[in-house]
Structure 1
Amino acid sequence: MSPPAKTYTAPPPVIKTEPPPVIKTEPAKPTFADSDKRKDNLFHQTGKQQHTTLNKDSLQVLAENLASSVSLSRLPTPEPPIFTGDPLAYPDWLSSFTTLVELRGVPPLERIHYLKKYLGGPAKEAVGGCFLLRSEQAYEEAKAILNERYGNPFTVTEAFRNKIETWPRISGKDSMALRKFSDFLKQCQVAMKDIPDLAVLNDVRENRKMLQKLPDWVVTRWSRVVARVKKLTNTYPPFENFVGFIQEEADIACDPLTSLGSLRPSTDKDQQGTSNGTTRKRKPGGHTLSTSSKPTTDTESCQFCKKDGHPIQECEAFKAKPMTERQDFVKKGGYCFGCLGKGHISRTALLAASVRNAVRSIQTSLHSN
């Protein structure tokens, strides 16, 4: 058999298709509504951030205030001092009372109670009648009485001058006493700005009264300063220069590195003592006084003012006290009314003939005429 004849099949026709035309579209322009929405979103986001920041800052401030209030609550409550009638302490007391009582919003009717609490002694007695009224007018009247009696410039001036005149004499080796006197003179200088009557301290005679309280070596150095000033200006140095000089000398005397007190911590007292621990140097040609009391030496500390360099018989502060206070001090301390010693009374005190005149001068400080 013959194979079947091959048939030809034509390929399918190719249809050419063109790509669809590309349509170019422009982005839509933002409208006012869209911009407002974005602004609102941005504002809300910024507001949230600021609100979060403010919350953090406020919490931090609150924590700091709470910590400071807790720290302040641990401190003791400040109170004014009790004023007892010293004119030199009145300005400080008045300032503290005004700050701690009046400026804190205390009602006027309650201020009279605080005034009564922070007064004592003669000052409280001076306004005692005002405490019976318990009114705002009574409070103002009490303050007026205190200002007239203790805030008067003449009263303050006399208080400063009296304190200078009754100041005890300073020993040559007592550097701390010199500094204390220097601080008081500085207080006088500051008060001189508000109290014109204190200008009397510039007078030469007033300056000589102050020089009598100082050691000899300080007086000698001040004399050199006076000589230089008089030579240049033909005037006496004012009180301001004197205060500066005393402050400088006090600083030198109290210097912790070069002062005599730092170089020689031990005193110059005689180390050879008797069985009771006291010493006494016998002067040539002197008489021996044997008593049961402790002997008095030039370096013995004063029983009244507790300072070295003078006995109680030579204490200016003791002599300045009223008669009743001196007698009470001797009675309470158990001292002898004859020689101010201890261990005996005036009936048993053995007085040598060579010291009877000295004893009479001692007795005059304890007995009125």
Structure 2
Amino acid sequence: MSDIARELNLNPSEELDLLTKWLGRESTEHVRRIRSVHVANPALGLQLVWERLEESYGSPEVIERALFVRLENFPKFSNKDPQKLRELGDLLTELNSAKSEGYLPGLSYLDTTRGVNPIVEKLPYSLQEKWLAKGSQYKEQHYVSFPPFAYFTDFICGEARRRNDPSFSLTPTPSKTSIQYPKYEQPERAMRNVKRHISTHKTDVDVNRWTSQSDCSSFKPDDIGKQCPIHQKPHPLKKCRGFRSKPLEERKAFLKENGICFKCCSSTTHLAKNCKVALKCSECDSEDHVAALHPGPPPWGTENKNSPSQYGGEGEGPGSAVTSRCTEVCSRGQSFRSCSKICLVKVYPKAHPDRATNVYILLDDQSNRSLARSEFFDLFQIKGSHSPYTLRTCAGVTETSGRRATGFIAESLDGKMNVMLPTLIECNHMPDNRSEIPTPEVAQHHGHLKSIAHMIPCLDPDAQILVLLGRDVLQVHKVREQRNGPHSAPYAQRLDLGWVVVGNVCLGSAHKPTTVATYRTSVLENGRPSLLTPCPNQLQVKERFSSKIQNATSLRSVRHDSSVFDDCNLGNTIFQSTKDDDQISSSTAPKQSGTSTQ
């Protein structure tokens, strides 16, 4: 502020007036007290004011204390509040910036486990587990006692950026057939064993929303096994189809909120550890839970022609149930899944193995050069200049440009094999379909691939498909071992960089394709492929010429050769121009009865 005062040519009295007006309440009191003592000498008073402000608010100890207080007062949050994670990332960035400037020596405390662990305790459990894996990996790779605070800050900021990405924000859309659990009050644990009757007025039930003015407290302890507390219908909760159709976590949450036994789902008088009911799951023959708590989707179809309001969601409507085994691999609601040659590897510059990063590599022997996305160049901070090149795909020929990257090594996850990569050309036209990445679940559901399921890495949510290796590095395409099956089943290959699975991995082929992973979708009349749909109202005229004038560029460019016109019929020469077109000619008529007309 003193620099601004000098630029405005303010005298000490005017500068003191500004400080008194715009400072906070506590700092303003400092200014007033010092100014009242040095009324006759404003310059000295101004100097003492700045010294007092620097001592009270600008010393390293005061700044460190203020930053640590903000960090300690930051609340703990859950996965449902990604905005809090972004605010924490901003605070940690501020701390890391102040720490890197060196004038706050007390912030070096953040480089220790005592400084970071209190921050980690504020994170959701999933992020705590993820940081445990990331921090341990950093210690093993860099041989340090604990990851630096800057690495932890980058981890939090990266997670905040991903979880606040609007492209992946899931906003639940209400549906007419959606079912929600009623917010029943949690009965007191001490009162669960007390048998008492509570009478309530009978009210209507909205089956679609599972809401009612009555709650589970209106039931006797034994009524849960006879009458459904959700639909108020005479069927037990353990046989309620609406309850069974919900995800397992929501079913458990409902039982916990209402104090119902997790094992038999039929009583509120005991807990699962004290349940002595002999039971057996009808879906997996397990003796630890009933069918109502079996994980996974229900065995019946999701659509029912009977109105749920008529039967409370329990009616047996006409039609047979359909079970799709494809959901075990493809997940519910997705199209059929097909895997390709994609490997998870470690990539790092040759001189810096400590910068190794997990990325997915696409192996394509139809490409004559190896490519990399722009994110790869940004990840390893490769600047360079853009050089032009020609890209030829099914969609046509494209003139573009990009950076080049050399000197990188791809290493298998087990560390047994590493390959020197060729020059990588920057290109963002690579396929980027993560559903094509092979996973252990894919191999586990096919009998001839079960033996290699443990050798396929699990899906890494942080790794991206950034590199495509073509024929300029043949070593990675050579098959060292193979697993075959039936003609229509997928097959597996062991390459130098790991196992891959190729082919359609659906179990029941119950999905219809919604997208086509190819650039060539239609062919125009001129034979050129195009991503656009051709116009259906197109009118095309084709001309046919005799063999002697077929190579002419236009009808008017044909030489006036009489021999040519002798060979052409009237249909091809009716619009032909000749040198006698402007001359007057005699009319000709066929001869009749030996007379002619001229």
Give me the TM-score of the superposition, normalised by structure 1.
0.46
Give me the TM-score of the superposition, normalised by structure 2.
0.29
Q: Which has the higher contact order (CA 8 A, sep 6+)?
A: 1
Determine which structure has more spread, i.e. the larger CA radius of gyration.
1
Is the strand fraction higher in 1 or 2? 2
Is the helix fraction higher in 1 or 2? 1
